[in-house]
Chains A and B, each alone.
Chain A
Amino acid sequence: MKAVPLRQEIPAEAGRADSRAQAAAMIEIEGVSQTFQTSGRQNHLALSNISLSIADGAFVSILGPSGCGKSTLLYIVGGFVNPTEGVAKVKGRAITGPGPDRGPVFQEFALFPWKSVLGNVMYGPRQQGVKTAEAEAQSRRLIEMVGLKGFENFYPKELSGGMKQRVALARTLAYHPAVLLMDEPFGALDAHTRTRLQNDLLNIWERDRKTVLFVTHSVEEAVFLSDKVVVMTRAPGRIKEIVDIDLPRPRRRAELLLDPRYQKYVVDIERMIDDTGEDGLPP
């Protein structure tokens, strides 16, 4: 038997790697378009023919100007919105509605105001049939993990925006979704709180490496957090480019900000967005 030249192995190897990637894809979006009817009875195309595959355990950001339909894409994966065309799948099964395998975290927090912090975090596990004592113990650990130990009995109205978002994150993590769907989660927070929450999110993510789909309009945030940044165009939203962020983990903000590779990613992606003319004017 003759030794096969190494070079020739590559396509086969790549093919196998590709099929492995297919098998490990957590989310597949195939030809998804979304049309909304506006108040003027006109059809507004929000998303146009989006196809995207997200590997299990990947942190993927969707980045784009406001109105590009990036949140809509996230809602489709969440099962909150049905796509006009195309199909979205999770673990190979077509998405027909919301489910506990996909946990959303919204910019608006959407906490249950009549429940305490502990009550909010326990809600999901209780709904899944976890015994009260066990759900409480788990929830207390999660509350501690997101840095809110001592606030278990506070009501949402007594918390700051950053604290509310920590509760929302803990509430979603509590029912162990395979995918975290984060819809501009830090968009309503001040710069300082935002930075702290980004750091904490990365620390939490690095423990169990859930698949994360993260919608943002901040280039720095996307590059800092993600394995992959999906850059979208203005409405109708199309995928302009997918950028692999090849930066080592665990990432430390102070080191990263000085890293020329990080800086290059930020500048390159900012250029891509500039090219799409965010303000509707030619660049």
Chain B
Amino acid sequence: MMPARKLLSLLAPLLACVGLLAIWQAGALLLDTDSFPTALDALRAVPSILTDRESLINILDSLRRMAIGFAVGVAVSIPLGLMMGRSRAVASFFNPLLMITYPVPKAALMPIIMLWLGVGDVAKTLVIFLGVSLPVIFHSFQGAKAVEEKMLWSGAAMGLSAMQRMIRIVLPSALPEILTGCRTGLVLALITMITSEMIARQSGAGNILFNAMDMGQYDTVFAMIIIVGAMGIGFDAAFEAFRRRLVRWSEPRFDMPLSFS
């Protein structure tokens, strides 16, 4: 038999979800307006969206763009961040560029990007890529900068070239920090995915959501919010599990304070 305390800590997140839905339900019943459907109505709309062929194609389109934007963003940002962390020259070259891009909401660039690249996949994927890049660059940079000099010296004494040291010492050494950046990047990819589709309506999960909004199908709007939110939690939890497996060797100080898994 499971101890009561452990059972409680397992049930706690579930209780929180149920509680939230109950408040929603009560609030919606109390307000009784069309624009705020009850939790039950919204939940009832979820399966109908997920079984609709058209909607599924839209959602898969979104996920494809998100996956490509995230993958390319990570593939470019990790090497860049690591090089910035190890070379003052590279860091001073890219730093002003990043400082300018950092505070600009990536969705604000959408109109210009659309002007140049149209409203198709390329523009939206580019915005996702931009959203992912900054946290990954920043954390890779931090991780590479913190690599112990003596570890690199030990590698050099074994005969590792500068390139080998970068790939075989700096990269694994910075991995816990890099993955922290990737985790933030993954959530940002989802956020920029929806915002890009909000601006360039053509396909995608964001498109379903805002079309339903235009047509006053508020239960669909709320159902889409639930679906997107669930995707976010799912991705984050899966990534966190993957991250833990990858950096099991690392000191506990790299553990994150908040985790959904």
Contact = CB atoms under 8 A, between A and B. Distances in A.
B173 interface: yes
Given A104-B157, A110-B153, A113-B173, 5 more contacts: A99-B157, A103-B157, A114-B175, A114-B249, A172-B157
B136 interface: no
A114 B158 contact: no
Interface in A65-93: 78-80
Q: Label chain A's interface by main secondary structure.
A: loop
B153 A157 contact: no
Interface stretch (A12-20, A121-129, A198-206): A121-129
Nearest to A116: B249
Contacts of B158: 100, 123-124, 127-128, 175
Contact of B154 (A97, A104, A155): A104
B249 A113 contact: yes
Interface residues of B, number: 19
B75 interface: no
Interface residues of A, number: 29
B157 to A, nearest CB: 5
Nearest to A104: B157
B150 interface: yes
Best-buried of B150, B175, B247 by chain A (most CB within 10 Å): B150
Given A108-B148, A112-B169, A78 B153 contact: yes
Interface in A148-175: 155-157, 171-172, 175
B79 interface: no
B159 interface: yes
Interface string A160-196: 0000000000011001010000000000000000000
A59 interface: no
A236 interface: no
A157 B169 CA distance: 17
Contacts of A103: 157
Best-buried of B151, B154, B156, B247 by chain A (most CB within 10 Å): B154
A98 interface: yes
B153 A104 contact: yes
Interface string B226-261: 000000000000000000000111110000000000
A98 B173 contact: no
A238 interface: no
Contacts of B248: 155
A265 interface: no
B172 interface: yes
A184 B98 CA distance: 41
Contacts of B175: 114
Contacts of A97: 156
